Amino acid sequence: MRGRTVGLLSAGVLAVGMALVAVTIIAENRQSGVQSRSTGVATVGGPFQLTGTEGQTVSEQDLLGKPSAVFFGFTYCPDVCPTTLFELTTLAEQLGSEADKLNFVFVSVDSERDGPAEMKQYLEAFDDRIIGLTGTAEQIDAVAKAYKIYHAKVPLEGGDYTMDHTASVILMDADGRFFGTMDYEEEASVMLAKLKRLISERVDG
């Protein structure tokens, strides 16, 4: 009987000890989770070097000082890209003079067909504040990787091809830190609210 009592007491002590360890682990995980969220903003975005529509070199440094709405696509895109760029154009109009406080950026993921001249001509249909950027395949791969953008060349019949790519607009603050996203076919009022908040707020460091 005594042995059984000692065993039960030992089991009880062990259970309490395990519970304390579990509480400690949970607390540490929560703390590390907060830390990972605060440092995680730096995982989207980063250094890049691309070419503007006038043939000029553009880097991430040129976008600092203003928040940015960055969209990756290509000029031969049949639906998602023109729709998104028209949405950005409408949002810029709705923002009025506040739109001047934002960088609207369109980065091509199609280095083969989208040179500076093609980008310039394509963007004539949209708000003239939209900055068009392109580059070599290596440069585009690098910036897409930095911004966590998926893109892939998809062969079509007859030797042609299209491009698969992430359809979200990436929002960055004035210091080049990740702020959030605007999703494809999101409500216009929601997107407008996000841009207004992006203009008025800064991500905590």
C-alpha span between 139 and 145 (Å, rounded): 10
Confidence of residue 28 (pLDDT cuts 50, 70, 90): very low
Hey, what's the torsion of the CAs at 98, 60, 146, 177, to 10 degrees?
Answer: -50
Q: Could you tell me if 127 and 92 are in contact, meaning their C-beta atoms sit under 8 angstroms apart?
A: yes
User: In whole numbers, what is the pLDDT of the chain averaged over residues?
Assistant: 83
Mean pLDDT across the stretch 31-57?
70
> Alpha carbon of 96 to those of 82, 99, 119, 192: distances in Å?
21, 6, 25, 12
Percentage above 90 pLDDT, the chain: 76
Per-residue model confidence (pLDDT) at position 186: 92
Which is more confident, 21 or 155? 155
pLDDT digit string, tens, across residues 180-199: 999 988 999 999 999 999 99
Query: What is the DSSP annotation of 94-138?
Result: HHGGGGGGSEEEEEES-TTT--HHHHHHHHTTS-TTEEEEE--HH
pLDDT at 201: 77
For the record, the structure tokens of 184 come out as 């494809």
Q: Does the annotation list 77 as a binding residue?
A: yes
Tell me: is residue 165 an annotated ligand-binding position.
yes
> Does residue 26 have a pLDDT over 80?
no
Average pLDDT on 115-126 reads 98
Mean pLDDT on 55-84: 97
- Measure Cα distances from 187 to 21, 110, 123, 128 in Å: 46, 28, 23, 23
Output 188 or 41, whichever has higher pLDDT: 188
| Residue 151 in marked binding region | no
Q: Which of the four pLDDT bands, split at 50, 70 and 90, describes residue 32?
A: very low
pLDDT value, residue 142? 96
Residue 41 Cα to chain centre, angstroms: 10
On the question of pLDDT at 202 being above 80, the answer is: no
> Region 23-37: what's the mean pLDDT?
35
Structural domains in the chain?
47-199 (3.40.30.10)
Q: What pLDDT score does 92 carry?
A: 97
Per-residue pLDDT tens digits for 129-185: 999 999 999 999 999 999 999 999 999 999 999 999 999 999 999 999 999 999 988
pLDDT at 185: 85
Q: What is the pLDDT of residue 133?
A: 98
Residue 83 structure tokens: 């729709």
